[in-house]
Structure 1
Amino acid sequence: MKKKIVSALMVAAMVVTAFAGCGSDKGGTSTQGGDKTSKSSGKVYMLNFKPETDEAWQDLAETYTDQTGVEVNVLTAADGQYNTTLQSEMAKSDAPTIFNVGNSSAAQTWNDYTYDLKDSELYKHLTDKSLVINSDDKVAAIANCYECYGLIYNKTILEGYCGMDGAVVSSVDEINNFDTLKKVADDINSRIDDINKELGTDLTEAFASAGLDDGSSWRFAGHLANMPLYYEFKDDGCDLTAGEESIKGTYLDNFKNVWDMYVSDSAADPKTLNSGALNAESEFGMGEAVFYQNGDWEFAPLTDEENGYVVTADDLSMMPIYFGVDDENEGLCVGTENYWAVNAKASQEDIDATLEFLNWVITSDEGRDAITNQMGLTAPYDTFTGNYETKNAFAQAANKLMTDGKTSVAWSFNATPNVDDWRADVVSALTAYTAGEGEWDAVKTAFVDGWANQWKIAHEGDAQ
Structure 2
Amino acid sequence: MEKFKWNYAFLFAMILMLGACGNSGDAGGSVSEETEGGGTEGESVTIDLYQFKVEFKEQFESLVAQYEEENPNVTINVETVGGGNDYGATLKSKIASGNEPDIFNIGGPQDYEDHKDRIAPIEDSEAADAALEGTLDSVTVDDQIYGLPYNLEGYGLIYNKAIFEEAGINPDDLTTMEDLQGAVDTLDGMKEELGLDAVFAFPGKERWVYGNHSSSSFLAPEFNDSVLEAFESDTVEFELSDELKNYIDMQVDYSEQPVLSLDYSQQVEALYSMEKVAMIQQGNWAYPSIEQIAPEVAENSGIIPIPVAGEAKMPVGVPQYWVVNSGAEDNVQEAAVDFLDWMYTSDAGKEVVLNDFNFIPAYEDYDTSQISDPLSQEIYEYSEEGNTSGWVFLGYPTGFSEETFGDNVQQYISEDITWEEVVENSKAYWEENR
Normalising by the residue count of structure 2, what TM-score does the alignment of the two structures yield? 0.84
Mapped partners of 2:386, 2:142: distance in 1:
35
Give runs of aligned pairs for residues 43-82 of structure 1, distance below 5 A.
Answer: 43-69=46-72, 70-79=74-83, 80-82=85-87
The answer to whether the Cα contact below 8 Å between 1:331 and 1:402 also exists between their aligned partners in 2 is: no
Aligned equivalents of 1:290, 1:238: Cα separation in 2: 31
Aligned to 1:206: 199
- Give the stretch that moved more between structures: 60-69 or 217-226: 60-69
The structure 2 residue matched to 1:381, chosen from 357, 363, 382, is 363
- Shift of the alpha carbon at 1:243? 4.6
Q: Distance in 1 between matches of 2:230 and 2:322?
A: 18
The correspondence for 2:207, drawn from 204, 217, 220, is 217
SS at structure 2 position matched to 1:56: helix
Tell me the secondary structure at the aligned position of residue 110 of structure 1: helix
Q: Output one character per residue of 1:157-186: Cα deviation in whole Å (capped at 9) or x when no partner.
A: 112211xxxxxx5x3322222101111112
The AA in structure 1 aligned to 2:122 is: L
In the alignment, which residue of structure 2 is the partner of 1:309? 294
What RMSD in Å do the two structures reach over aligned CA positions? 2.7
* Percent of aligned positions that are identical: 23
Distance between the aligned counterparts of 1:39 and 1:314, measured in 2?
44
Conservation of the 8 A alpha-carbon contact between 1:189 and 1:266: no
C-alpha separation in 2, matches of 1:346 and 1:126? 24
- The one-letter amino acid paired with 2:397 is P
Q: Structure 1 residue 391: deviation in Å?
A: 1.7
Residue 395 of structure 1 corresponds to 376
- Residue 162 of structure 2, aligned match among 152, 156, 166: 156
Q: State the 1:45 CA deviation.
A: 1.9
Q: Which has the higher helix share?
A: 2
Partner of 2:310: 326
C-alpha deviations, 1:126-160, integer Å up to 9, x for none? 13254341235421112121111111111121122
2:428 alignment partner, one of 449, 458, 462? 449
> Who is 2:354 aligned against?
372
Contact 1:390 1:396 in 2 (8 A): yes
Contact 2:198 2:277 in 1 (8 A): yes
Q: Is the 8 A contact 1:432 1:438 kept in 2?
A: yes
Does the 8 Å CA contact 2:316/2:389 hold for their aligned counterparts? Answer: yes
Aligned to 1:230: 220
Q: 1:370: Cα distance to partner?
A: 2.7
Question: Which residue of the other structure, out of 311, 317, 322, is the alignment partner of 1:335?
Answer: 317
User: Counterpart of 1:244?
Assistant: 233
Structure 2 residue matching 1:322: 3-state secondary structure = coil
Alpha-carbon distance change, 211 to 312 in structure 1, aligned in 2, over 3 angstroms: closer
Deviates more, 1:39-48 or 1:287-296: 39-48
Contact 1:48–1:100 (Cα < 8 Å) also in 2 = yes
The change in CA–CA distance for 1:187 and 1:275 in structure 2 (over 3 A counts) is: closer
Unaligned runs of 5+ in 1: 1-15, 19-34, 163-168, 197-202, 456-464
Q: Does 1:86 align with 2:91?
A: yes
- Match of 2:78, SS state, is strand
Q: Secondary structure at the match of 1:341?
A: strand
8 Å contact from structure 2 (residues 110, 397) kept in 1: yes
Asked if the contact 2:299/2:373 (under 8 Å) is kept, the reply is: no
How far apart, CA to CA, are the structure 2 residues paired with 1:386 and 1:141?
23
The structure whose Rg is larger is 2
Q: Is the 8 A contact 2:307 2:313 kept in 1?
A: no
Distance of 2:162 and 2:131 partners within structure 1: 36
The one-letter amino acid paired with 2:362 is P
1:401-455 alpha-carbon deviations (Å, 9 max, x no partner): 345563x11001111101x355212222211221223211221122211211221
1:415 aligns with 2:392: no
Identify which range, 312-321 or 66-75, moves more after superposition.
Answer: 312-321
What's the CA shift string for 1:74-107, capped at 9, x where partnerless? 1111333312322233356663121111110111
Q: Which amino acid aligns with 1:376?
A: N
Contact 2:122 2:337 in 1 (8 A): no
Q: 1:311 to 1:242 in 2, by over 3 A?
A: farther
Q: How far did 1:50 drift?
A: 0.9
SS at match of 1:318: strand
Larger mean Cα displacement after TM superposition, 251-260 or 237-246: 237-246
1:134 pairs, out of 130, 134, 140, with 140
**Counterpart AA for 2:184:** A
Task: Write the deviation string for residues 298-352 of structure 1: whole angstroms up to 9, x where unpaired.
Answer: 1222112xxx3264443111100112x132xx32101123111111111011011
